[in-house]
Structure 1
Amino acid sequence: MSKSPNLVWLRSFDCAARHMSFTAAAEELGITQTALSLHVRSLEAQLGCPLFFRAARNLSLTEVGQAYAFSVRRALGDIDLSTASLFGSSHKHELVVRAPISTASLFLAGRLPEFSRAHPGVSIRLVSNIWAESAGRENVDVELRLGNGEWNDGPFSKISDERIVPVAAGSRDRKWPSTEELLVKPQIQILGFQDMWHRYFSAFGTEYSPAASCFTVDTTIAAVDIVAEGGGYAVILERFARTAIKAGRSIAIVGNPIPIEQSHFLVDGQRSNANSAAKQMFETWLKQIFA
């Protein structure tokens, strides 16, 4: 084929493939059924291949037509999204993004305006959860999880390496306690991350014997708030600590970071009608900020 197909023909084909009806497709595009049928036949002639099976009161895609419809829809979505991002649009593509509550509050939310400035044609609806296995995934386009990757409810890919640090109240200039001194400090426990204290001390060859916990909380957000008010020490993800410090929270890192096995992962969302170009752009941006 010497040149790319006519864009008008491609839009007519895409619309007919979505509706499985030339009549409904013509109504959506504001053209006659005869004109739409001519567009599709012209496209088939240029490609040298039928895209539809036509029968009385029944329209269906050929196998080649099904494959081509997917590619055409994605390409047209890319064009629409790029146009909206560069030149503005009254219509925005909304993405529903699900993330652990601490990741949302202590890392992601403050960076979302950066994405919106670069892609004004996409709006984000951020929903948070405490446990990865909780319900409510049915209408999600993009999902972030923090863990070991031991899930069986869909494809996922790792996008980060994580480290943990101990934090305490005060400024960044405060003197770090030795690991022996840290061992006897009041420790805040975070449900689901109770092993972090043990992991931290083990990395320095210090035998861990739990100190009396003055607080046990279910989110890192709560732990950071308690630390900031002088309520104890906590071991949290380094990226959360640095974001909180940058945001002006009165906490300080008081020990060297150590790597852990837990990471952030991108999990395929459950919603089937997400704009593929918007989803791809957002996931690419997520990988960049987590790298």
Structure 2
Amino acid sequence: MHDRLPPLTALRAFDAAARHMSFAKAAAELNVTPAALSFQIKGLEEHLGAPLFRRLNRAVELTEAGKALAPGAAEGFDALRRAWMATRRSLDARTLTVTAGPAFTAKWLAPRLFDFAQKHPDIELRFSASLRLVDFDRDDVDLAIRFGMGGDDAGVYSRVLVREWLAPMVAPHLAERLRVPADLLKLRLLDDGNLDFVRPPCDWAAWFRAMGVADPPEVTPQFSQADHAIDAAETGGGAILGRISLTTKALQDGRLVIPFPTALTTRAHYRVLCPAGAEQKPQVQAFLSWLFDNVGEFAAHDRQMSFIDAGDVGT
């Protein structure tokens, strides 16, 4: 038995057939005829000196040799695909693909994208609103904005973007009724449920304890998306313990106000990440520069607040 590799086209045909367990579906994926695909696989079996498939009446199944080859073939083509995509991205100085959470995209990024487009008309900006863990190779993403407690960012460029804080926020007409923090208990307290992972907790109960209101409040309704809770608060549906990262525009426009300027700070924060070295690419540099220039607007709100660390509140 010799070690010379068979033709790549034959291995590609085998990989597709092994994934689909169908010559017809594999042929459709590769845009060839079933006869042509069968010919490629037959040649691969002759090269190996053993069958890779058992041909049944209307189906195929892998032989032991096929089962041994299939995982390596799949991994090999996946590695080739990733390498090809990475090489294309390294040569592309015009396209920039950014991923961020749906709420941050809707409430902070999207309203400001026209400004970036005006300043950088040569850059084609693409967005993916997602919370899943990013794989820069698999997902064809250049830059990720993620919120959390931080983690192991070895091998990537990582920089803190926004330090988060939370404070009660309501529609202006509701603020007129509020004199002391306990008055908030007369309103419906909205919860987006997206900070359940934060430790120590940074929620309504913690804020009321910080303000000396002992009785834990009933929080309802709960929203699965933070931007939906913000929308409900803007229309007068209740009070939200608003995150400054998501509510800056609403506060600037007067759609929300902060009746009591005491905020909880949390160790959770936004950070921006990209593959190590990719931060030097012209389009990534341009976006990072624009991004950090714009997050400076949070400082204006910071100066109006007093802060209490959620970790100092207790339970």
Q: Same fold judged by TM-score > 0.5?
A: yes
1:289: how far off? Answer: 1.4
Indicate the SS of the match to 2:229: helix
Farther off after superposition, 187-196 or 221-230: 187-196
CA distance in 1: counterparts of 2:258 and 2:98, whole angstroms: 30
Do the aligned residues in 2 keep the contact of 1:98 with 1:143 (CA within 8 Å)? yes
CA distance in 1: counterparts of 2:183 and 2:278, whole angstroms: 54
CA distance in 1: counterparts of 2:195 and 2:125, whole angstroms: 29
The residue number in structure 1 matching 2:66 is none
1:269: how far off? Answer: 5.0
* Correspondence 1:209 to 2:210: no
CA distance in 2: counterparts of 1:178 and 1:231, whole angstroms: 20
The residue number in structure 2 matching 1:283 is 288
Indicate the SS of the match to 1:97: strand
CA distance in 1: counterparts of 2:284 and 2:270, whole angstroms: 18
CA distance in 2: counterparts of 1:108 and 1:289, whole angstroms: 10
Letter in 1 for 2:260: G
1:154: how far off? Answer: 5.5
CA distance in 1: counterparts of 2:135 and 2:214, whole angstroms: 39
* Correspondence 1:224 to 2:230: yes
Do the aligned residues in 2 keep the contact of 1:171 with 1:252 (CA within 8 Å)? no
Percent identical residues: 21
1:153: how far off? Answer: 7.5
Equivalent residues in 2 for 1:70-89, closer than 5 Å: none
Indicate the SS of the match to 1:223: helix
TM-aligned CA distance change 1:279 to 1:217, over 3 Å: same
1:188 to 187, 190, 196: 190
Letter in 2 for 1:238: I
Over residues 176-225 of structure 1, what are the superposed CA-to-partner deviations in whole Å (9 max), with x where a residue is unaligned?
A: 442222245321121222542133224334335131x3311111210012
Equivalent residues in 2 for 1:132-281, closer than 5 Å: 132-133=132-133, 138-151=139-152, 155=156, 156-171=158-173, 174=176, 176-194=178-196, 195-207=202-214, 209-211=216-218, 213-247=219-253, 250-258=255-263, 259-269=265-275, 276-281=281-286
Indicate the SS of the match to 2:214: coil
Q: TM-score, normalised by structure 2?
A: 0.54
Do the aligned residues in 2 keep the contact of 1:104 with 1:128 (CA within 8 Å)? yes
1:229: how far off? Answer: 2.8
1:95: how far off? Answer: 0.6
CA distance in 2: counterparts of 1:141 and 1:261, whole angstroms: 26
Q: TM-score, normalised by structure 1?
A: 0.58
The residue number in structure 1 matching 2:99 is 98
CA distance in 2: counterparts of 1:159 and 1:268, whole angstroms: 13
Aligned pair count? Answer: 199
CA distance in 2: counterparts of 1:185 and 1:111, whole angstroms: 32
Over residues 155-186 of structure 1, what are the superposed CA-to-partner deviations in whole Å (9 max), with x where a residue is unaligned?
A: 32212222212122335973544222224532
Farther off after superposition, 95-104 or 232-241: 232-241
Indicate the SS of the match to 2:144: strand
